[in-house]
Amino acid sequence: MCGIVGVVSNAPVNQLIYDALLLLQHRGQDAAGIVTQQEDKFFMHKAKGMVKDVFRTRNMRALPGNCGLGQVRYPTAGNAFSEEEAQPFYVNAPFGIVLVHNGNLTNAHALKAELSSVDHRHINTESDSEVLLNVLAHELEHTTRGQALDVQAVFTAVRKVHRRVKGSYAVIALIAGQGVLAFRDPYGIRPLCIGSGPGTVVLASESVALEGTGHTLERNIEPGEAVFIDLAGSVHAQQCADAPQLKPCIFEYVYLARPDSVMDGISVYQARVNLGEALARRVVSQVPPSQIDVVIPIPESSRPSAAQLAQLLGLPYREGFVKNRYVGRTFIMPGQAVRKKSVRQKLGQCCAPGALPQCVRHRHAHRVGVGGAQPQRRRGPRHHRLRRADLPGRGRYEESHRQPQFPRQRVRCLVF
């Protein structure tokens, strides 16, 4: 999971990209990067850390130009501790291309070997984003065959990329002297949208990055679709996949995206409310509502679901945990030990008199804690009980049942 943004404007874009990345910071905390173009030259700065720490005034002044890209990184492939794998990635031929990518390629290892042995391209990191960049560069070079680049050649190259690459990918690329290219995998697993303002066209992972910077959301990039924005701001679009169909990652709606985003025409907040309705049906089938004292969300993403659950079951809704807002998103921190320590620092239990109903402060008292998602990945198994050792104030509740708002998975996610 990452957050990406691309801008073509008639004014300098460095501050706009910075502001958009701040609005997408929840999608990645490990590294951040911005590249801009002035005339035919790229100016780039990237490093590990949060957006506000990576970019100082001197860095922003060194990013001139009226078009550019940005990314905040949460590593799902490659080396989480390597600064070299911060994006954007750059390749000098053909034309000069920089790329930002949100997603995960499932055939990255096979593609890397193919790029080396057949296409004679060198990959210098373990990042699948660099693999994707070189596939795109090779297909652009093969399509143009030394001729000038036009829009149809760009779309032909993207069509070939779709046939070679497997997995999830939302991509924004800047081609030197030509314009900005954006495309989405044929299943639309990762989100990407386009918006506009006076003299500006903006691409971003979530609609909040558009609305928060004063731009209007126009639409989502369709699965398999490619959009090319030339340096004059003209937008060209074409479907480049053979059989596109929308099958977005449900984890975007459960946890990853901000609740005030709209993705593929669906409000993330409303999706979480709907999950609360489904959860109410499941709870009733497992636990009689008369045995439940209170519904408590585990901040932040489960709150809409917990509120809807409490309303439908006719139960009190209470805040049982206080969130430390100065601790980042624990899910996207590298390493289980770091995540576990940060959870202890992040969540504190409400223990003051009157903070919870009296029955909840006694041992053996029943409650339902509605949590966000815990997919069965390297972060450990999904818990249906809150383990007392995992949170401050341990030992306070013995009958504390956790109900995940995440629907039951039928197949394992391979492209997170």
Q: Which residues are catalytic?
A: 2
Helix (H) or strand (E) holding 44: strand 41-48
Extended strands (E) in 109-224: 167-175, 179-184, 193-197, 200-204, 216-220
Burial 62-72 (b: 16+ CB within 10 A, else e): ebbbbbbbbbb
User: Would you mind telling me the total number of residues written for the chain in this entry?
Assistant: 416
- Given the structure tokens 């558009």, which residue do they identify? 210
SS3 117: helix
* Distance, CA of 345 to chain centre: 24
Contact 354, 326 (CB under 8 A): no
- CA atoms of 350 and 273, how far apart (whole Å): 24
| Rounded alpha-carbon distances, angstroms, from residue 394 to 73, 101, 284, 317, 345 | 34, 41, 28, 22, 14
Residues with Cβ within 8 Å of 289's Cβ and at least 6 positions away in sequence, in order, are 283, 313, 314, 315
- CA atoms of 144 and 380, how far apart (whole Å): 48
- CA atoms of 117 and 136, how far apart (whole Å): 17
How many angstroms separate the first and last alpha carbons of the chain?
7
Contact 221, 239 (CB under 8 A): no
Contact 201, 235 (CB under 8 A): yes
For 238-258, give the secondary structure using H, E and C: EECCCCCCCCCCHHHHHHHCC
- CA atoms of 158 and 170, how far apart (whole Å): 12
Nearest to 221 by CA among 180, 251, 255: 180
Structure tokens at 286: 């497992």
